[in-house]
């Protein structure tokens, strides 16, 4: 008699636990897109204070007032080399804008001479910023290059693109953001 | 029999006492390098599979170790705050030790709950079996056993 009472209670308890876990599974947030998500989106950009390859001081906070594009780069990384033409086209197109976005290469785990040689050979008339010990990469949560980030004129992080840029992607993203948040 | 039980009890008490002392005792002041290593062992390398940044030689892991060293040297954040800083940039997947809050707490609580439930079920089962075994003996059985013991004494 006693056994008959225990079995339904145990079954009911197991059923309730399973149902609870199922509810948690269904209602949990869907996984974020690893190529575009970052906890920094919508947050103020981390402080970036360093020097450029020309030994000028660089402070991201002083760039407020215009859109900023940060491209994390290494001269030996194949996707970085592949997307270079896309960056050149984007930079050239920006020069025709009334308020062009400012573009910076963040040198990731690379030496100055190799980066200089790459840009002398492949063009790219924008500043290249040194990243000592990978401090800038860590502050943005960049683990692999290339990565491209868009920061709005108020210094808020708006977009992260992990991996190689596809044709026109950066122009489209910036145009969308300008419509949403102004230029 | 009593001596045997007492020695088991003594061993149990001694084991629990040593475990408690081992867990709660002060380990003394940590050096900066000890702190850096301890934090690095709690964070996963973001570009490797299943490695902590303490053991990984990947450039992302080296950059993270350098950042931890900078923050430890600055002395402005606790270990947990430094880990929260890294999590806020790389996401929760860099945590090798799950949090004890929110849904992640299930990882800690479920095994304990299952263990307690299993022990309770086993205890209940043993008690029932013992009762049933005792009730299986009839008066005739008891009389036979008593007779056999009496014969044995003679």
Q: What is the ipTM of this complex?
A: 0.79
Averaged pLDDT, B127-136: 78
Q: What are phi and psi of A57, to 5 degrees?
A: -75, 145
| Residue B61 shares a structural domain with residue B134 | no
Tokens, residue B28: 């003394």
Is the domain of A5 the same as that of A80? no
Task: Report chain A residues whose CB lies below 8 A from the CB of B103.
Answer: 24, 28
**A138 vs B58: CA distance, rounded Å:** 13
Domain range for B125: 103-153
Alpha carbon distance A136, A106 (integer Å)? 8
Exposed e or buried b for every residue in B91-126, given b needs 16+ CB within 10 A?
A: beebbbeeeeeeeeeeeeeeeeeeeeeeeeeeeeee
Nearest-neighbour CA in chain A from B10: distance (Å): 36
* Alpha-carbon span A115 to A93, nearest angstrom: 23
My answer on whether B29 and B74 are in the same domain is: yes
Looking at the structure of chain A, the number of domains it has is 2
The residue segments making up the domain with residue A4 are 1-30
Q: Which residues on B lie below 8 Å from A109 (Cβ)?
A: 59, 63
Q: Is the confidence at residue A27, as pLDDT, over 60?
A: yes
Of B59, B86, B87, the CB nearest to A109: B59
Residue contact A134–B103, C-beta within 8 A: no
Q: What confidence score (pLDDT) does residue A30 get? A: 67
Instruction: Choose the weakest-confidence range: A23-32, A83-92, B81-90.
Output: A23-32
Q: Taking CB atoms and an 8 Å cutoff, what residues of chain B touch A138?
A: 63-64, 66-67, 86, 89
Closest among A21, A14, A66, A46 to A181, alpha carbons compared: A66
Model confidence at B17: pLDDT above 70: yes
Q: Please name which of B21, B26, B22, B60 lies closest in space to residue B40, comparing C-alpha atoms.
A: B60
Same-domain pairing of A86 and A20: no
Over 60: is that where the pLDDT of A2 sits?
no
* pTM (two decimals): 0.75
Q: What are phi and psi of B78, to 5 degrees?
A: -80, 170
Residue % of chain B over a pLDDT of 90:
51
Same domain, yes or no: A84 and A9: no
pLDDT band for A26, please (50, 70, 90 cuts). Answer: confident
Question: Using one digit for the tens of pLDDT, what is the confidence trace for A119-160?
Answer: 999 999 999 999 989 999 999 999 999 999 999 999 999 999
Question: What CATH code is carried by the domain that includes residue B93?
Answer: 1.10.8.640
Task: Give the whole-angstrom CA distance, residue A29 versus residue B36.
Answer: 33
Nearest to B46 among A37, A40, A143 (CB): A143
Taking the C-alpha atoms of residue B97 and residue B84, their distance in angstroms, rounded to an integer, is 12
Nearest residue of chain A to residue B45 (CA atoms): A143
Tell if the CB–CB gap between A133 and B67 is shorter than 8 Å.
Answer: yes
């Amino acid at each position: 008699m006693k056994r008959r009472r225990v079995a339904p209670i145990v079954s009911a308890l197991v059923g309730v636990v399973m149902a609870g876990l199922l509810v948690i599974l269904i209602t949990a947030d869907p996984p974020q897109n690893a190529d575009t998500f970052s906890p920094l989106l919508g947050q103020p950009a981390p402080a970036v204070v360093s020097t450029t390859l020309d030994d000028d001081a660089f402070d991201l906070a002083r760039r407020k007032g215009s859109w900023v594009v940060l491209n994390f780069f290494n001269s030996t990384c194949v996707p970085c080399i592949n997307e270079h033409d896309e960056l050149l086209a984007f930079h050239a197109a920006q020069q025709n804008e009334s308020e062009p976005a400012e573009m910076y290469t963040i040198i990731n785990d690379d030496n100055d001479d190799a980066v200089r040689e790459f840009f002398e050979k492949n063009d790219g008339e924008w500043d290249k910023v040194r990243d000592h010990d990978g401090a800038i990469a860590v502050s943005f949560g960049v683990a692999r290059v290339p990565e491209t980030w868009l920061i709005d004129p108020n210094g808020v992080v708006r977009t992260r693109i992990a991996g190689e840029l596809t044709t026109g992607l950066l122009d489209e993203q910036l145009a969308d953001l300008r419509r949403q948040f102004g230029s | 029999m009593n001596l045997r039980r007492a020695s088991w009890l003594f061993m149990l008490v001694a084991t629990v006492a040593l475990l408690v002392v081992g867990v709660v005792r002060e380990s003394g002041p940590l050096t900066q390098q000890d702190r850096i290593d301890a934090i690095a062992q709690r964070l996963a390398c973001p570009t490797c599979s299943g490695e902590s940044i303490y053991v990984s030689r990947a450039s992302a892991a080296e950059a993270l170790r350098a950042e931890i060293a900078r923050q430890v040297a600055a002395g402005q954040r606790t270990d947990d705050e430094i880990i929260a800083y890294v999590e806020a940039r790389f996401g929760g997947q860099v945590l090798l030790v799950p949090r004890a809050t929110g849904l992640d707490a299930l990882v800690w609580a479920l095994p304990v709950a299952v263990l307690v439930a299993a022990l309770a079920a086993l205890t209940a089962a043993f008690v029932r079996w013992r009762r049933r075994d005792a009730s299986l003996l009839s008066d005739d059985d008891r009389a036979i056993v008593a007779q056999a013991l009496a014969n044995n004494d003679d």
